[in-house]
Amino acid sequence: MTSSTSSTPETAAATDTSAAAVSTQVSPGQAPEGVAHPKTIKSYVRRAGRTTTGQAKAFEELGPRFLLPYQKAALDAPAAFGRPAPLILEIGFGMGEATAHIARVRPDDNFLCCEVHEPGVGALLKRIGEQEIENIRILQHDAVEVIDHMLPETSIDGVHIFFPDPWHKKKHNKRRLIQPPLIAKLAARIKPGGYIHCATDWEPYAVQMLQVLGAEPLLQNTAEGYAPKPDYRPLTKFENRGLRLGHGVWDLVFRKK
């Protein structure tokens, strides 16, 4: 689960991809009316954070097995995971709480997780060790470059983007991750019948997500508007607190035609 913070602390880290920006060109006219879009996709920003002793130990002990190197070559997923299985890409996972839960409840799937925030990567590695999770591999690299260079068309079975940075101010909306060029890239790489699942706790961003996903011709909404929360996505303690306070959470699940 992209970069600084979302409305909820845990989820902010979720799709909060965090580091120096990487970009791709945007073709004119791709965004639905009223949805701002930048000339480039910036999938993350730098975030402050300190790696703990436990996270550093996890890097040392588990990194060689669960961290994959970025390379400008197609990923051999069965070799990377030690087995063939449906491949799910997660863009930004924060501190890895939801990621670890989903990997445990879906043991028959492989999860390729992109996050550049070092404490978050260390935290997920620590969870992998503590919970004996085998079906996660981590790429500590910008997800846009991973998509461009390591994931050929129709090579993945699903995509998770949970609680990306909402960039609340209107002048910053163009920095949001969910934009037509990225969704087009992802749709091309998802197998027919595969899915993309996004979630946000910021309603204006949910509206933009629905517009952008709905405008992608390769995708079809699985619901009339927003989807019920799939059982595999857990509620974090921060999300539960927000719901008690009356804050909304919106899930969107689209399938590849």
The three-state secondary structure class of 116 is coil
Is 201 one of the annotated active-site residues of the chain?
no
Annotated catalytic residue within 142, 157, 165, 251: 165
Place of tokens 């492989």: 110
Distance between CA atoms of residues 105 and 122, nearest Å: 21
Neighbour-count burial for 59-69, b at 16+ CB within 10 Å, e otherwise: beebeeebebe
Residues with Cβ within 8 Å of residue 49, at least 6 apart in sequence: 117, 118, 119, 120
Question: What is the rounded distance in angstroms from the CA atom of residue 34 to the CA atom of residue 213?
Answer: 14
Cα-only R_g, the chain: 17
What is the set of active-site residues? 165
